[in-house]
Amino acid sequence: MNSMNHLLDDPMVLRELIMDHYQYPHHHGLTDDPSYRHVHMASDSCIDDITVQSKIVDGIVEDVRFDGVACTISTSSTSMMTDLMIGKTKEQAEAIVDEYFRMIDHKEYDPDVLEEAVAMKNVYKQANRIKCATIGWKAMKQMLEEGEGHE
């Protein structure tokens, strides 16, 4: 086991990661650039209201951004998602999203693929928060399925 994985087994570290991503979310704030697709996730829950944008060119996820009003779990899980997606091919990105949903569903998963997002591994214990941990990821999944370009 490498040192990175070892650290990601430590609850204190995982807690700090969620705090960090919540207080200083990555790729936060939306762009007006028309080459981005966006998904507004407001109908799934009456509390969280998140918009995720992505730019996918020639099969590569070039950028992902998000903004909105949301709880710690929604914000930090979406922030972690943006880190994992950017620079990946569409196929790699889809594989990571699938792996994440396996973890959230409390199935077998590969923690190496999910990196910091393993901080969400215990969310399944609070059934009402699964929505929070998946809101941004669902938006990303939808954009990956829709493919490239902007209609």
Partner 1 sequence: MIDIPTVRKAFPIFQNQPELVYLDSAATSLKPQCVIDAVSGFYTDHTSNVHRGDYAIAAENDALYDGTRKVVASFIHCDPREVIFTHNATASLNQAAYGLRKFLKPGDVVLTTKAEHASNLLPWFAMQKECGIKVEYAPLDSQGRLTEEAFLSAMHDKVRIVALAQVTNVTGAEQPIKAIAKAAHAYGAYVVCDGAQSVPHMPVDVRDLDVDFLAFSAHKMCGPGGTGVLYGKKELLTQMDPLLYGGDMNARFSSDGTVILKEAPVRFEAGTPAIEGVIGMRAAIEFLQKIGMDNIHAYEKELRAYFLQRMQELNNIEIYNPDNAYGPVAFNAKGVFSQDAAGYLASRNIAVRSGNHCAKILHEVIGTDSTIRASLYFYNTKEEIDRCVAACSDISLENAIGIFF
In 3-state terms, the chain is what percent helix, strand and coil (to 5)? 55, 15, 30
CB of 82 to partner 1, least distance (A): 19
Q: Scanning residues 6 to 45, which ones bind partner 1 (CB under 8 A)?
A: 11-12, 14-15, 18-19, 22-23
Read off the DSSP letter of residue 128.
Answer: G
**Which of 73/117 has CB closer to partner 1?**
73
| Residues 84-123 close enough to bind partner 1 by CB under 8 A | 120, 122-123
Output the CA–CA distances (angstroms, integers) from residue 42 to 12, 50, 95, in the order listed.
31, 6, 25
Burial status of residue 136 (CB atoms within 10 A of its CB: 0-12, 13-18, 19 or more): buried
Choosing from 73, 96, 97, 139, the residue that interacts with partner 1 (CB under 8 A) is: 73
Size of the site for partner 1 (CB under 8 A): 22
Q: Which residue has the tokens 């990175």?
A: 4
Residues that bind partner 1 (CB under 8 A): 11-12, 14-15, 18-19, 22-23, 46-47, 69-73, 120, 122-123, 125-126, 129, 132
